[in-house]
Chain A
Amino acid sequence: MNTPTLFFRILIASALLLSTGACTKFIDFEGEDSTPRLVVNGAFQPDSVFEIELSNSLGFIDISQIQPRTDGSVAVYDGNGSFVDSLTHIGDGRYRSNVTAAVGNTYTVRASSGAFGEVSATDYIPDIMPIDSWDTASAASSDPFFDNSGLDIFFTLSDPAGSENFYMVEVFESAGYYIDYVMDPSTGEFVQDTIYLDFGPQKLYLSTTDQVLLSEADGFADGGELYGETFFFSDRLFNGNIRRFQLRLDYYSGIANLEIRLTSASQSYWRYRRTIDRYDYSSGDPFSEPVQVFTNIEGGLGIWAGFSASSAVIEF
């Protein structure tokens, strides 16, 4: 049992002791009568069609199911306010256009549904930021059980000068192979063969001691090391410079391909994903500070934001 756990147990025991005379009662909740708002969720990237989900919010203690809005009217406009396309309902509150988004462009979404008034949001697609180069090195795992099975991944990024840029980096394990002895059904003998794995991209849990990533951390660092599946960072500390970043896999089997995915995000997309990440991390912890999830929908809730992604595949 680690120290925090022990402390919590003792604290809970103390709280129970103190609360022997405590009274619990249901009280009126002012949020009970909160007026539902239209919710728009849509993220767009280069060369992909616009797609959003339309629903409405409910009061926090309302136990009814949130229903998708299927009677909505959704349209996208460009940065000059010119009409781009009208989105068609394709089922379950999802609306899709036939037009694709382009890098560097700004788009505004306007949506309405039933008695809900029109809501809108505007955002842009930042330039794609390619991974200039990458390399790897074997590393000691922080878990002694894995011995020296860790892997350090390094990648280099050239940040453009004069603009504020926001990034997210993730590593996926996608496909791979290994060689093993398998029984030949025709002869019944064991022969060497290549076993291919294709399990779809799986996001990996990472750590880093990279100072830029640490400085942007939301406090999920431990002992000077940052842990997580997605690292969020801005160019605040290296604006206009080329920088080499370090990521670590605590355990890498060496039999699957790795994909480094670098997302160049608009500030809205970055803030949304970052706060959602934090929301999930602290969910269920009664002692953590509650998390506000970012929204940029005027008159409603949700997110309308752009991003572009680049990746590098490390094949083994």
Chain B
Amino acid sequence: MKVNSPLQIYKYLPQTNCGECGEATCMAFASHLLDRSKKVADCPPLLDDKYKKKYLELSELLAPEIREVIAGVGETAVKIGGDDVLYRHQLTFFNPTVLAYDVTDTMSEEELVDRVKRISGFKKFYVGSFLKLNMVAVRSTSNDPERFKRAVKKVSETTTLPLILCSFNPDVLAAGLEVSADKKPILYAATKENWQQVSELALKERTPVVLFSPGDLDELKTLAVSFREMGIEDLILDPGTYPRGEQLKTTFQNFLKIRRAGIKEGQKDIAYPLMATPITAWMVNEDPIRASYWETVLASVFTVRYGDVMIMHSIEPYALIPEVLIRETIYTDPRTPVRVDPGVYEVGNPTKDSPVIVTTNFALTYYTVESDLSSNDIDCYLATVDTDGIGVEASVAGGQLTAAKIKETFDNAGFDFKEKTSHNTVILPGLAARLQGDVEDVTGLNVKIGPPDSGRIPGWMETNWPPK
């Protein structure tokens, strides 16, 4: 975006402090526009005709440096790109990398349906919600338009996830579009050979299109400038993801170059989302485990450095779980607090016989422990000690988790073991076992040592609770 202070935004707002946006003042709303936690359209008065000029000007000023491209329709539509910074600590990255997994038009129908269901059904719990996959990439390995059309039709009947139609043959892409245009798929890809036909398809159906120019940034920019000239703005750039050797090093640097040109140098001609294709790992690795590993390695590299949408093949859990978590790692908003408020929380409906469990106030630790307890229907008290947002093992080593801090947590919460429990017992994390003696001395409580990982609390409870 082209502004860096709320004041610059404020002068485009109605300045009436009407509160319709949910903020007390227009200045507060301006701050939210600046950190992108609110949108211009969240100001109802600004939508009025008399403000139309200001609305348009402000929207232009606030537009992200990298174009945001939307694919798909409805709840599963994906936003691709839209970043404003090169490093996440400078603000945050927006629109987590969209992960697409492939099917082919030469698969049997049964195989295809099974695979699509596995892609759309995958979920992995993380800090209070489930991480999922976003798209299905339908590859034409037959190069037969009719066959591709059938496959695309079957996939879109099976899932609501948006599609990427993959072929370098425009006739094949046209056939796929015939049965999926209303779902706004991404076209993959336009090249220097097929650009005329593919641009016509993209113009006609208003679908996003990927420009593919492996290893040649001049050619990629040539395509981008030409497509823009033809009025096609929903572009995604694929500079080619070479799977190994010096070509991979060049690929990495190409991603850096394009993104730096777009964000740091404001080169609008090249400021589009980037596609990486870690799936090419399968071109150079025979062994499927080795290929899957290398694919995840490539996916990680390009999640960290500027891949906005990626196509992968492996749907093994050992590929998908790290892939969704590295995406979360990079796209988690660094402005959100690292820690939860210290205190004694109730999980479920604890009674006097329920356990009292200690953990730290590092947000990830807290949410992990909390979900392990609630998911397994364990009613208990969960005390979060103020460890400056550091996890259990590190805070025991670093002196942020001590017996005195544990006592202080219960004291400050007004938690009286005599009144609230029948057992006068506190459970420490297994990784804090060395604090046992100290905690007994400082609090006068019975201290039990829980498992080193809260995922094992259910099993631990079977043999250790209630205390004898």
A, B in one complex:
no
